[in-house]
Amino acid sequence: MNTPQEIQTGIDGFRLWPGALSMQAQAELLAQVLAAEAEAPLYRPVTPGGRPFSVQMTNLGPLGWVSDREGYRYQPTHPVTGKAWPPIPDYLLALWSDLTGWPEPPDACLVNLYRDEARMGLHQDKDEANMEAPVLSVSLGDTAVFRIGAAEGGPTRSIRLASGDVCALTGPARLARHGIDRLIAGSSTLVPGGGRINLTLRRAR
């Protein structure tokens, strides 16, 4: 795998590799994700307060992030089927190793499908055991308007994430507030039926 070119974001710890995945790599990775979804189907979780998410979700890897009325957590089985999550594709494991340099592999990969008006409000990734481990995100499909701001609050910035882009929350940005404001519909034809798939690799344990 050729190491993609990183650009400066102006946000300490927020790393971005635009166009890190070639069109061929995007198509091959998408095919693997769609095959995994046949084993671990997408579902629509709810918040602890009972409000449905606007995105559909599933997971890959030994652990999967889930949300329901009992709270946010990682667990080894799909909440609907009760089966173990499918494995994380080797390509994603290699990407994690090459770009983050973290000594341990990710043990969770959250798969989010955004369609139509789906969005993700500002939040922090803090259900993991080690907050120093990075969070790596891969975008497939329609361009998303990504919003990010400091953990302690204050102004936020918007950055467009296109299909094949990879970004990471590391160091000072590990607990940054971030979310998806909207999609730019029709900006990609990669995902069947349209929309965006986001793959978020984490070290949960």
Kindly give the confidence (pLDDT) of every residue in the chain, 205 residues in length, as a single tens digit, with 9 standing for 90 and above. Answer: 677 899 999 999 999 999 999 999 999 999 999 999 999 999 999 999 999 999 999 999 999 999 999 999 999 999 999 999 999 999 999 999 999 999 999 999 999 999 999 999 999 999 999 999 999 999 999 999 999 999 988 899 999 999 999 999 999 999 999 999 999 999 999 999 999 999 999 999 9
Task: Give the CATH fold of the 14-202 domain.
Answer: Jelly Rolls (2.60.120)
Residue ranges in 105-196 assigned as alpha helix (H): none
Residues 6+ apart with CB under 8 A from 33: 60, 89, 111, 140, 197, 199
- Tell me the one-letter amino acid at 106: P
Q: Tell me the domain boundaries of the chain.
A: 14-202
